[in-house]
Amino acid sequence: RAKVVHLSRLSRVAVCGGTHGNELSGVYLVRELQKTEKPLEEEDELVSVLVVLSNPRAVQQCRRYTETDLNRCFTHATLNGPESDKTPYEITRSRELNSLLGPKGSPEAVDLICDLHNTTANMGLCLIAYSDHDWICLHIFRYLQANIPVRYIHFDFPPKEAYSLESVGKHGFAIEIGPQPHGVVRSNIYTTMKAGVQHVMDWVRFFNSGTIFEGGSVEVYTMVKNIDYPRDSETHSITAAIHPQLQDQDFCLLHPNDPLFQTFSGETLRYKGKEPLYPFFINECAYYEKGIALSLARRKCVKMPPIQVKTELEHQENEWEFASEEDE
């Protein structure tokens, strides 16, 4: 039987919504959770939960962002750059969130960040994370899978280059759910997100109370590349839309020579890749400005060990080790 990996307790968890101000499931779920937040003296002994409206200014205007995309502002370089009167609001806000939830990469950072997002793409419920070997995130994913349909997407960036809010925590992922138009709240999508967050919190409480989670394997989609729309070389305007046969087919294997785009004059453009890959974020509204028509991923199986929370004694021994390393 595989050896149980002992991991630190998840004492502090942050649930964030409104990182993009027009992705309304997270905005309304955070407002709902804030209503029921326990005062500190009644705090749950198993976990302390911080509920955060990430970009209040954009939420107020019901826009993705006011000056620059907040969810691209959490690289080490941006968080530690110079500040002036001309610093965009979202960069200032990313530094405030880093103080509140981080600092990123430090022992003081919250243990887990769950950041709530919507997509116009037909992706269902997905967890998006920067690691395919973070056993906490993968075990949470497997627990969710036993309760609701969900996929795991892995963005393969080194920690310093990880640019989104969930990268500030010791562990973190985005919950991405669609299809939902931006600026709209659909009850079914909201309810699925709410159930997802509830399952995450249930798992955290089980973990913190000493439950052993058995090892096993899960399927992970690792992002390989983005594909832009065909564009006019002079005006840079798009000249084609996603092909009707590909539209809404997120996570359905795209084979070489399959229809990819349909030009505005009616011509079919085909996928020229060498290998079949899984498309996702197909025709995401917010990605037109980023030059992304869709993303492509490889699917693989990841084995994970059994895990259990460290006992208080193991935790103290680790703290001492950490302290003595710092003294050296």
Catalytic pick among 176, 219, 314, 319: 176
Other CB atoms within 10 A of residue 157 CB: 15
C-beta separation of 185 from 3 below 8 A: no
Q: Check if 176 is active-site.
A: yes
Q: Is 32 annotated as a binding residue?
A: no
Beta partners for 217? Answer: 303
Residue 184: which residues within 8 A CB-CB, separation 6 or more? 24
Q: Is 117 annotated as a binding residue?
A: yes
Category of 248 on φ-ψ map: left (φ > 0), alpha (ψ -120 to 50) or beta: left
Q: Which amino acid is present at 117?
A: H
Q: Is 289 annotated as a binding residue?
A: no
Buried b (16+ CB within 10 A) or exposed e, 185-196: bbeebbebbbeb
Q: Which two tokens stand for residue 27?
A: 């905005």
Residue 28: which residues within 8 A CB-CB, separation 6 or more? 17, 185, 190
Check whether the bond before 244 is cis (ω within 30° of 0): no
| Residues identified as active-site | 176
Please give the annotated binding residues, written as ranges: 20, 23, 117
Please give the annotated binding residues for Zn(2+), written as ranges: 20, 23, 117
